């Protein structure tokens, strides 16, 4: 395999216009400890909104599954909680929802997220908002589950990106034995309502699966952007705290992918750093001015707590340049 060299610049070269890479450490403490996972970020109505996974309260309340926290910011550095989205009872969401992906389209925020706690029956759902905080569910939820003998029927970790006249929906699934995590993709017309009938699964197998030693048994959390007409996908390799680290692949068509390196583009931190247990579950946010930020989760206590941060992404010769 031919690999594109990954270039690493100094922090001085990568000073972000709003704050330095790695200086944001956000954690929701509503569960009694710092805990925020699986970030997704949009710029909407003059503010930044960040959506993230929250665990159950575990204090006896019902229902009490995973949920999606909502925070807002004016500068990508200082965040305050703005709301929370809970799974609906008597639906596929009743055990919880998590791992959001977000998109601003036609003046509304579209949230694509997974059901939680249903094993191989977990699927992708869709909701829309006019203010970034209050969401209306898609009546056809869940909108997507994969088909084919190569997967277990499960879909999690949604991310979406407009490419040409389509909206591409990337997701993680597992093999039929529920051991190997890998990625797939579906497409819907960009002018559709993104309900269940709009989606067509692309390809007859995984678009990316673990092959490198550091990826172990898992590739998940696809995070997409477009650069110079090509799609780039940052992804999480290995399960949480194994350690999970972030890789990157490139594609001309959104279906066929080539890794840009056999090494992570954003590894976990050193033993004394905040992300020593992992740098995981990326989300690539492209701001209105074209600036790109790689949001990701990390911890240094094997998952007892979780914090969110970001690194500025620059480019050189078709390669992402990341300073954590």
DSSP state of 71: E
Report if residue 190 sits inside a domain: yes
- Residue 295: name the closest of 224, 238, 242 by CA: 224
To the nearest whole number, what is the mean pLDDT of the chain? 93
> Given a cut of 70, is residue 5 above it in pLDDT?
no
Looking at per-residue pLDDT, the higher value among 13 and 31 belongs to 31
As to burial, measured by CB atoms within 10 angstroms (0-12 exposed, 13-18 middle, 19+ buried), residue 195 is middle
Report if residue 10 sits inside a domain: no
pLDDT class of 21 with cuts at 50, 70, 90: confident
pLDDT in tens, 210-225: 999 999 999 999 999 9
Per DSSP, the three-state class of 130 is coil
Per DSSP, the three-state class of 146 is coil
Report if residue 2 sits inside a domain: no
SS3 letters across 195-226: CHHHCEEECCCCCECCCCHHHCCEEEEEEEEE
Q: What is the DSSP string of 12-68?
A: TTT--SSS-TT---B---TTSS-B-EEEEEEEETTEEEEEEEE----SS-SS--BEE
- Residue 186: name the closest of 267, 101, 291, 263 by CA: 101
> Given a cut of 70, is residue 298 above it in pLDDT?
yes
Q: What pLDDT score was predicted for residue 19?
A: 58
| CATH number of 148's domain | 2.115.10.20
Q: What pLDDT score was predicted for residue 8?
A: 32
Q: What is the DSSP string of 216-255?
A: TTBEEEEEEEEETTEEEEEEEESSTTS--EEEEEEESSSS
> Given a cut of 60, is residue 3 above it in pLDDT?
no
Report if residue 28 sits inside a domain: no
pLDDT class of 62 with cuts at 50, 70, 90: confident
Report if residue 7 sits inside a domain: no
Work out the number of other CB atoms within 10 angstroms of the CB of residue 89. 10
User: What mean pLDDT comes out for the span 28-41?
Assistant: 98
Q: What pLDDT score was predicted for residue 61?
A: 87
Is-above-0.85 flag for pTM?
yes
Pairing of strands 219-227, 200-202: unpaired
Looking at per-residue pLDDT, the higher value among 313 and 12 belongs to 313
Looking at per-residue pLDDT, the higher value among 1 and 247 belongs to 247
Q: What pLDDT score was predicted for residue 22?
A: 74
User: What mean pLDDT comes out for the span 39-58?
Assistant: 97
Report if residue 15 sits inside a domain: no
Report if residue 287 sits inside a domain: yes
Looking at per-residue pLDDT, the higher value among 58 and 324 belongs to 58
Q: What pLDDT score was predicted for residue 16?
A: 35
User: What mean pLDDT comes out for the span 73-96?
Assistant: 97
User: What mean pLDDT comes out for the span 121-132?
Assistant: 98
Report if residue 1 sits inside a domain: no
Identify the domain containing residue 187 by its residue range: 37-322
Number of structural domains the chain divides into: 1
As to burial, measured by CB atoms within 10 angstroms (0-12 exposed, 13-18 middle, 19+ buried), residue 145 is buried
Q: What pLDDT score was predicted for residue 103?
A: 97
pLDDT in tens, 133-175: 999 999 999 999 999 999 999 999 999 999 999 999 999 999 9
How many CA within 13 A on the CB side of residue 86?
A: 11
List the structure tokens of 226: 């477009």
> Given a cut of 60, is residue 198 above it in pLDDT?
yes
Looking at per-residue pLDDT, the higher value among 20 and 121 belongs to 121
């Amino acid at each position: 395999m031919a690999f594109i060299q990954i270039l690493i610049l100094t922090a001085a070269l990568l000073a972000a216009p709003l704050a330095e890479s790695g200086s944001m450490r956000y954690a929701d403490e509503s569960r009694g400890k710092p805990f925020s996972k699986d970030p997704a970020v949009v710029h909407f109505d003059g503010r930044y909104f960040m959506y993230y996974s929250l665990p159950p309260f575990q204090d006896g309340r019902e229902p009490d599954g995973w949920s999606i926290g909502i925070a807002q910011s004016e500068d990508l550095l200082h965040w305050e909680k703005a709301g929370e989205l809970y799974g609906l009872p008597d639906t596929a969401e009743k055990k919880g929802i998590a791992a959001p992906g977000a998109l601003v389209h036609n003046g509304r925020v579209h949230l694509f997220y997974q059901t939680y706690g249903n094993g191989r029956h977990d699927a992708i759902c869709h909701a829309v908002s006019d203010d970034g905080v209050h969401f209306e569910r898609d009546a056809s939820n869940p909108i997507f589950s994969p088909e084919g003998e190569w997967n277990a029927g499960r879909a999690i970790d949604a991310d979406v990106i407009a490419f040409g006249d389509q909206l591409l929906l990337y997701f993680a699934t597992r093999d039929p034995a529920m051991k190997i995590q890998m990625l797939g993709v579906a497409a819907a017309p960009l002018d559709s309502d993104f309900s269940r009938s709009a989606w067509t699964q692309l390809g007859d197998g995984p678009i990316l699966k673990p092959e490198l030693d550091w990826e172990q048994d898992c590739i998940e959390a696809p995070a997409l952007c477009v650069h110079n007409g090509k799609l780039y996908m940052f992804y999480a390799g290995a399960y949480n705290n194994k350690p999970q680290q972030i890789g990157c692949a490139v594609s001309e068509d959104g279906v066929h992918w080539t890794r840009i390196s056999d090494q992570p583009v954003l590894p976990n931190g050193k033993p004394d750093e905040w992300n020593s247990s992992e740098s995981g579950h990326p989300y690539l946010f492209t701001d209105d001015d074209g600036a790109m930020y790689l949001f990701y989760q990390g911890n240094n206590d094997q998952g007892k707590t979780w914090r969110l941060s970001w690194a500025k992404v620059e480019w050189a010769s078709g390669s992402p340049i990341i300073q954590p």
